Structure 1
């Protein structure tokens, strides 16, 4: 688990295709790896990756086909900057929100504009994730825990303060930038709980829709 509070900006130094999946080598720069061992997890642009090598100036991790299909890691190349966060410890301050490092899908930056000293970003999420994004709720963008300031359909807005712009890769976002999204894990569990006994049925694959809500008295068409 992670908090979504970025600890350092790393740099991809190698991206190698291996048997259909990917091997990434990351230089960690300011991230202290003194307490990291082989098998530990490091969130890399919000993706929980397992450390398989510690060459001294960073780490190497393998990226599965499943992860490549749901994240932007496939587009990383030498020189790409990435957000880094080590896994939680029992004494870690939970400054953001609970983040699993399991990316739900890829979003896209639609626009960026100044808002006093902050920057306001508008993003488009995959349609299937829209139901999990709520006004003033939490969302993880490339591993950064952020607050949703407005929602309209599958588009939402974020207000990013100068400190976050400086300490994460968000400062490099432009219209068209693709980003990793992880929705609030509580919303996902709530959906599953509301399904009740139907959660064990193959019919529950699509999750909760208007028909389900109407059947259980939560919605009237």
Structure 2
């Protein structure tokens, strides 16, 4: 799990095809690798990847066919700037929201316009996930935890302050930029619960006679 608070902007060093999937090599920028171990998870533009090799300046990760199919990773190339976040720990400040690193779809930046010292972005999402985007709700865009300012059918609005743009790759977003979208995990579970409807009550094996035999007072 992650928080959506970006810790570093890195860059793609190398993309090696490996029999249908790929091996990524990523320069980590200022990301502290001193506590990283093999098998750890690092979110790269919101995609949870497993570290298979690392040093102080970079790490490698395998990317499956499924991940290539559902994320913007298939469009990356050497030099692409990416947002990086190490997995949270029990002592991590939860400054954003709970993010799984499992991308739900690819969005597209439709417009960018000035809003005082900030910039306002309009993002279009696939029809399959638009129902999860809520006004003033949380959404993860390229790994960044952001608040939705407005929703209009399959588009939503974001306002990014200068600090966010300076510390992430969002400063380079323009109309046509493709971004990874992960909706709030609570919205997905809530939908599943509503779809399931009211389940029939389970028949309990705890009976009054069982309680009496077990010595509970008042049972007979």
Check whether TM > 0.5.
yes
Q: Which residue of 1 aligns with 2:64?
A: 64
Q: Which runs of 5+ in 1 are unaligned?
A: 200-221
Query: How is 1:209-220 mapped onto 2 (pairs within 5 angstroms)?
Result: none
Provide the C-alpha distance between the structure 2 equivalents of 1:55 and 1:33, rounded to a whole number of angstroms: 7
Provide the C-alpha distance between the structure 1 equivalents of 2:13 and 2:119, rounded to a whole number of angstroms: 29
Q: Which residue of 2 aligns with 1:16?
A: 16
Q: Which residue of 1 aligns with 2:121?
A: 121
Q: Which residue of 2 aligns with 1:151?
A: 151
- Contact kept? 2:25, 2:59, Cα under 8 Å: yes
Structure 1: 4+ residue segments shifted above 2 A: none
Once the 2 structures are TM-superposed, how far is the Cα of residue 198 of structure 1 from its aligned partner? 9.2
The answer to whether residue 106 in structure 2 is matched with residue 106 in structure 1 is: yes
Q: Which runs of 5+ in 2 are unaligned?
A: 200-220
Q: Which residue of 1 aligns with 2:38?
A: 38
**Residue 67 of structure 2: SS of its match in structure 1?**
helix
Q: Which residue of 2 aligns with 1:142?
A: 142
Task: Considering fraction of residues, name the structure with more helix.
Answer: 1
**Residue 128 of structure 1: SS of its match in structure 2?**
coil
Return closer, same or farther for 1:178/1:198 CA change in 2, 3 Å cut-off. farther
- Report how many residues are paired: 199
Provide the C-alpha distance between the structure 2 equivalents of 1:142 and 1:152, rounded to a whole number of angstroms: 21
Return closer, same or farther for 1:190/1:79 CA change in 2, 3 Å cut-off. same
**Residue 149 of structure 2: SS of its match in structure 1?**
strand
Provide the C-alpha distance between the structure 1 equivalents of 2:87 and 2:167, rounded to a whole number of angstroms: 18
**Residue 114 of structure 1: SS of its match in structure 2?**
strand
Q: Which residue of 1 aligns with 2:182?
A: 182
Q: Give the alignment's TM-score, normalised by structure 2.
A: 0.89
Once the 2 structures are TM-superposed, how far is the Cα of residue 176 of structure 1 from its aligned partner? 0.3
- Contact kept? 2:109, 2:176, Cα under 8 Å: yes
Query: How is 1:160-199 mapped onto 2 (pairs within 5 angstroms)?
Result: 160-196=160-196
1:80-100, Cα deviation, whole Å (9 max, x unpaired): 100000000000000000000
Once the 2 structures are TM-superposed, how far is the Cα of residue 55 of structure 1 from its aligned partner? 3.7
Once the 2 structures are TM-superposed, how far is the Cα of residue 56 of structure 1 from its aligned partner? 3.6
Provide the C-alpha distance between the structure 1 equivalents of 2:166 and 2:41, rounded to a whole number of angstroms: 24
- Contact kept? 2:49, 2:61, Cα under 8 Å: yes
**Residue 29 of structure 1: SS of its match in structure 2?**
coil
Provide the C-alpha distance between the structure 1 equivalents of 2:30 and 2:124, rounded to a whole number of angstroms: 31
1:121-163, Cα deviation, whole Å (9 max, x unpaired): 0010001111000000000000000000000001000000110
Larger radius of gyration: 2
Q: Which residue of 2 aligns with 1:2?
A: 2
